[in-house]
Homo-oligomer: A and B are copies of this chain.
Amino acid sequence: MITGKNYIGNQLSADGSVTFKTFNPLLNLENDRIFNEASTDEINKAVAIASEAYKEFSKTSGKKKAAFLNAIADEILALDEVLIATYCSETGLPEGRARGERGRTVGQLRSFAELVKEGAWVEATIDTAQPDRQPMPKSDIRKMLVPLGPVVVFGASNFPLAYSTAGGDTAAALAAGCPVIVKSHPMHAGTGELVASAIIKASIATGMPKGVFSNLNSSGIGVGQILVAHPGVKAVGFTGSIKGGRALYDLAAKREEPIPVFAEMGSVNPVVILPKALENRGESLAKTYAGSVTLGSGQFCTNPGLILGVKGEELTQFTSSLSEEIIKIEPSCMLHPTILGAYEKNKEKAISQEALTVTADYETGVQSNFARQAITTVDGKSFLENKTLHQEVFGPFSLVVQCEDANELTTIISNLEGQLTGTLIAEDNEARKYPALIDALQNRVGRIIYNGVPTGVEVCPAMVHGGPYPASTDSRFTAVGIDSIKRWARPFSYQDWPNELLPSELKDENPLEISRVLNNTQTTAKI
């Protein structure tokens, strides 16, 4: 079922000479299937047919796009156990995670289907004419969101389903009316091809223009670079490292026509534990956070890599409990030897910093490609002075910062880079005593959590997954939830345009019966 070839639209293609294999980290063995990296010619073909497909797809009705998205979800489910097995063989992640992520992927596709079927997401806004206005008559002006053009989506190593081939970025872009070219992640190229085959089947079954979707294999960074620099590409979605995301952002910014890059990148997700909470619940917090730090081998972008409190006996006790709890947890397999290697290197770098103390480091023998979880601690002053300690260690690792007092804690928060999340752990009425600290935390993050853990990103309309740089390259958009569709659209105005030539969303008779802003009032009324 997996061919190792690229999908250039509906066609399987393997013109290139570069080949590679995926790796099973649990077995510590390469998988059999040989994949063909897309050639420059194949890349150009994929972009050309995407540009052609855009002409029709950008005007395809919400109802038809919904049928397409729902069919993708159905076809993904129809892949059944083959998909689950392939996923596990390419990631080392457990079956339960595979099923859970598949559920999330399917759920995302269906929620975007609902959104575009209903149709109001285009934010239709109509200001009718005032021909008698003095001193100048007023034209009829009508605005709605229209798709940007072909979008390139980079598969994410840590979300082979939910943020890769048919993941959130792809679902949102297709929903918006943008053809998608996926730069498949080399670590799960087989999973990617299976999902791509589901999209292609769905696109044929629902009569989408060919070229609406392509899936390109790559073993390194070359394919992605060519895609981002290609004049036919109009926007980019990426989930991964700061280094990778920034390189794509820089490439896109240097183009003759710069294009938006939505890179969701690194984050240490600071957790602030206020004194009373530490005093009352240190033990149970330690248990909860040991679980959060090690969830999925710490391979979540919302992993709590930084825990801050005011120094004292309670914090020492918490750190000690957290260290004990984390050692009780069985180590788990990381996605790939490369990712494990990076984890070990970055952990080593952190541990080698002066003033840092290791309070837990899983030392007993572990299987190949399994991560040794660790907890470390440092005083506030040393942390503030050493930017190396601010960097993400992607994996089951966390650093407890012992601050002198709440002022130093606030200063530290203010000096952090942008983050996806910030968490405040507090007792009743405790938080209100720290307004400056809360303000500082809000200014550095995209989502703030009270008495919870940052891991676990609910897919719902009110979710913001993003944040000030380098959490993301564009804090004005979320990467999760239905509003992420807005990344792939731009507003467009029609002035005095004939009703018969207007898109349905803006016609006088409101045939889609959507809610629109008509002369400053939200309404489903006709004109």
Q: Is the CB of B141 within 8 A of A462?
A: yes
Q: Is the CB of A449 within 8 A of B495?
A: yes
Chain B residues with Cβ below 8 Å from A526 are: none
Binary contact track A436-463/B, C-beta < 8 Å → 1, others 0: 0011001100111111100010101111
Chain B proximity of A23: nearest CB distance (Å) = 31
* Cα distance, A475 to B477, chains bound together (Å): 14
Binary contact track A114-142/B, C-beta < 8 Å → 1, others 0: 00000000000111000000001011011
Chain B residues with Cβ below 8 Å from A354 are: none
Which residue of chain B has the shortest Cβ distance to A473 in the bound complex?
B258
- How many A residues are at the interface, by size bracket? 35 or more
Q: Which of B470, B478, B493, B517 contacts A448 (CB 8 A)?
A: B493
Q: Is the CB of A493 within 8 A of B462?
A: yes
Which residue of chain B has the shortest Cβ distance to A500 in the bound complex?
B432
Tell whether A474 is near chain B: CB-to-CB under 8 Å: yes
Tell whether A490 is near chain B: CB-to-CB under 8 Å: yes
Tell whether A522 is near chain B: CB-to-CB under 8 Å: yes
Q: Is the CB of A491 within 8 A of B476?
A: yes
Which residue of chain B has the shortest Cβ distance to A234 in the bound complex?
B468
Chain B residues with Cβ below 8 Å from A470 are: 257
Chain B residues with Cβ below 8 Å from A126 are: 462
Chain B proximity of A487: nearest CB distance (Å) = 8
* Cα distance, A492 to B522, chains bound together (Å): 24
Chain B residues with Cβ below 8 Å from A501 are: 431-432, 438
Chain B proximity of A244: nearest CB distance (Å) = 15
Binary contact track A404-420/B, C-beta < 8 Å → 1, others 0: 00000000000001100
**Seed contacts A143-B461, A432-B501; 17 additional CB < 8 Å A-B pairs:** A55-B439, A125-B483, A136-B456, A138-B458, A138-B460, A139-B458, A141-B458, A148-B475, A149-B443, A446-B491, A446-B492, A447-B493, A448-B495, A464-B491, A475-B490, A476-B491, A477-B491
